[in-house]
Amino acid sequence: MISPFLVLVIGTCLTHCLVPEKEKDPKYWRDQAQQTLKHALGLQKLNTNVAKNVIMFLGDGMGVSTVTAARILKGQLHNNPGEETRLEMDKFPFVALSKTYNTNAQVPDSAGTATAYLCGVKANEGTVGVSAATERSRCNTTQGNEVTSILRWAKDAGKSVGIVTTTRVNHATPSAAYAHSADRDWYSDNEMPPEALSQGCKDIAYQLMHNIRDIDVIMGGGRKYMYPKNKTDVEYEMDEKARGTRLDGLDLIDIWKSFKPRHKHTHFIWNRTELLALDPHTVDYLLGLFEPGDMQYELNRNNVTDPSLSEMVEVAIQILKKNPKGFFLLVEGGRIDHGHHEGKAKQALHEAVEMDQAIEQAGTMTSTGDTLTVVTADHSHVFTFGGYTPRGNSIFGLAPMLSDTDKKPFTAILYGNGPGYKVVGGERENVSMVDYAHNNYQAQSAVPLRHETHGGEDVAVFAKGPMAHLLHGVHEQNYIPHVMAYAACIGANLDHCTPASSAGGPAPGPLLLPLALLPMSMLF
């Protein structure tokens, strides 16, 4: 039941809130719907080309509520109400839902999910690049249970491959592309237990440099895991936490360089200036590590030393697209997740807006005729916004009423749990007494936790380009890389491919049929 006070608030808003003048005319809405209908009818002609290129954008923790809030924020950053704004991913013609659970977890983590959407096999929480037969932290359950990723399939097919992330390059999401580890936290040998080391397991940074030695582009954070213990960082010379971590004394940057053919142009860089000074046409291999750990939040980013996600994506595509056989690129907006875990919705949403900018950048550099682009998330968060806010209300603003229980205001954005739980004088904190628009404001939560948790609901999958229509309903998360591989004629399922298409040519095979004629086994 809605309180009389709320009725008064909503009634007043309906009378006085700013409604765009054009939206008062029914013709506006009817014309908009007809234009959308016309576009939808055009999708009946399916794009059954072979995907020369595949780009996967992974918004870590980017659940549906985050997508909606980021859409509003994007609009408000352009001085619009926000709700009517379209994200780049909103423009993709095909949308599906992905079931994110891990084999042993109802609410998943980023490692088991990464194994699903990159390797095509669901796995246990906390493990990367291995099947569910591997138990977390048990090194001796790894051997024989390794599973390969679509990045490996693409490389084996002669394509160029790249990884771009705003987290450490050996974090959960990117590591599933190249590593096989019983524990996502084994960033370097410094983080591994003696038992795992004695049983022969290798840390994830080591595997990055050794498992697939010819990854063409790697960009993100994670410098400290590449260097011997206590080696001073090139950027933060006085910061002990930024120093090298490796106990084995290896310099993995030197090892990375040594694996590259001498006639190839190999570049290691650590700052934005070096990145933007590159001539991508003369770069064969690029390793860019811009922070000792994760990269800075977009709102905190140093414009001299740290590139944006969009800038990294632009350079990556320029390098990768030189290969006539095409490329596979994994792009992670990884710090959406971190912002939510810290209860800092403003940081999380600005990360999501920046990832959408990177999606737009990639779209300008590729064609839907030969490039399949998939945007999705690994999981959601217990993040929400509500409170009957009026049109155009700041996404970080207050709801238009007081609580009818404790008579205090509350922000539209709230978390189900997390560090924003605060009690002052035995009562919920009065948010009007704090700067709730601050970049690092921690939104209130219902349950106190040091770190907010993931959510367990399905996440969206947006797709455009060749065979994008195969992402169309509610799917298990591990279905995604099988679609990408099918579209690109890579991996194990090549029965539909001609020799030309599997080599990156334009000719589709005989089984690239219209959706209505595809076998039911391909649709579900």
Instruction: Kindly state whether residues 106 and 207 are assigned to the same domain.
Output: yes
Per the annotation, does 482 bind a ligand?
Answer: no
Instruction: Kindly state whether residues 445 and 367 are assigned to the same domain.
Output: no
Instruction: Look up tokens 């009517």; give the residue.
Output: 84
For the chain, what is the domain count?
2
Contact 469, 47 (CB under 8 A): yes
Mean pLDDT per 10-residue run, the chain (524 residues)? 43 58 92 91 91 98 98 98 98 98 98 98 98 98 98 98 98 98 98 98 98 98 98 98 98 97 96 98 98 98 96 98 98 98 98 98 98 98 97 97 97 98 96 97 98 98 98 97 98 86 46 37 34
Tokens of 456: 């367990």
Instruction: Kindly state whether residues 470 and 365 are assigned to the same domain.
Output: yes
Which residues constitute the domain of residue 232?
47-382+455-488
Instruction: Kindly state whether residues 447 and 327 are assigned to the same domain.
Output: no
The separation between CA 33 and the C-alpha centre of its own chain, rounded to angstroms, equals 31
Contact 224, 293 (CB under 8 A): yes
Q: Residue 17 has what pLDDT?
A: 60
In tens, the pLDDT along 92-124 reads: 999 999 999 999 999 999 999 999 999 999 999
181 carries an active-site annotation: no
pTM over 0.85: yes
395 assigned to some structural domain? yes
Q: What is the CATH number of the domain that holds 157?
A: 3.40.720.10
183 assigned to some structural domain? yes
- Residue 271 CA to residue 303 CA, distance in Å, equals 10
Per the annotation, does 173 bind a ligand?
Answer: yes
Measured from the Cβ of residue 401, the count of other Cβ atoms closer than 10 Å reads 17
Instruction: Kindly state whether residues 318 and 412 are assigned to the same domain.
Output: no
For 262, residues 6+ apart whose C-beta sits below 8 A from its C-beta are none
Domain boundary among 424, 452, 480: 452
Instruction: Kindly state whether residues 375 and 326 are assigned to the same domain.
Output: yes
- Residue 270 CA to residue 291 CA, distance in Å, equals 7
517 assigned to some structural domain? no
The separation between CA 435 and the C-alpha centre of its own chain, rounded to angstroms, equals 29
520 assigned to some structural domain? no
Instruction: Look up tokens 């990367």; give the residue.
Output: 128
DSSP state of 453: P
Instruction: Kindly state whether residues 279 and 152 are assigned to the same domain.
Output: yes
Question: What phi-psi label fits residue 249: left (phi over 0), alpha (psi between -120 and 50 degrees) or beta?
Answer: left
Instruction: Kindly state whether residues 236 and 332 are assigned to the same domain.
Output: yes
Instruction: Kindly state whether residues 322 and 416 are assigned to the same domain.
Output: no
Burial of 6 (0-12, 13-18, 19+ CB in 10 A): middle
What Rg do the C-alpha atoms of the chain give, in angstroms? 24
Per the annotation, does 341 bind a ligand?
Answer: yes
Per the annotation, does 332 bind a ligand?
Answer: yes
19 assigned to some structural domain? no
Contact 122, 98 (CB under 8 A): no
Q: Residue 417 has what pLDDT?
A: 98
Instruction: Kindly state whether residues 254 and 185 are assigned to the same domain.
Output: yes
Per the annotation, does 438 bind a ligand?
Answer: no
Per the annotation, does 337 bind a ligand?
Answer: yes
Q: Which of 3, 65, 98, 110 is catalytic?
A: 110
What's the N-to-C CA distance of the chain in angstroms?
Answer: 41
Instruction: Look up tokens 């013609």; give the residue.
Output: 93
Relative orientation angle of helices 345-365 and 309-320, to the nearest 10 degrees:
30
Per the annotation, does 60 bind a ligand?
Answer: yes
Per the annotation, does 378 bind a ligand?
Answer: yes
Instruction: Kindly state whether residues 246 and 332 are assigned to the same domain.
Output: yes
Q: Residue 11 has what pLDDT?
A: 41
Pairing verdict, β 474-476 and 94-99: parallel
Q: Residue 501 has what pLDDT?
A: 62
Half-sphere CA count of 155, side-chain side, radius 13 A: 19
501 assigned to some structural domain? no
- Residue 407 CA to residue 410 CA, distance in Å, equals 10
One DSSP character per residue, 96-141 reads EEEE--BTTBSS--HHHHHHHHHHSS---TT-BSB-TTSPTT-GGG
Instruction: Kindly state whether residues 360 and 391 are assigned to the same domain.
Output: no
Measured from the Cβ of residue 107, the count of other Cβ atoms closer than 10 Å reads 16
310 assigned to some structural domain? yes
Per the annotation, does 454 bind a ligand?
Answer: yes
- 44 in helix, strand or coil? coil
36 assigned to some structural domain? no
For 523, residues 6+ apart whose C-beta sits below 8 A from its C-beta are 470, 472, 473, 515
E strands in 390-473: 413-418, 423-424, 427-428, 445-448, 454-455, 459-464
Burial of 196 (0-12, 13-18, 19+ CB in 10 A): buried
- Residue 268 CA to residue 209 CA, distance in Å, equals 13
Phi, psi of 265 (to 5 degrees): -90, 110
Residue 380: which H helix or E strand, with range? Answer: strand 380-381
- Residue 121 CA to residue 173 CA, distance in Å, equals 14
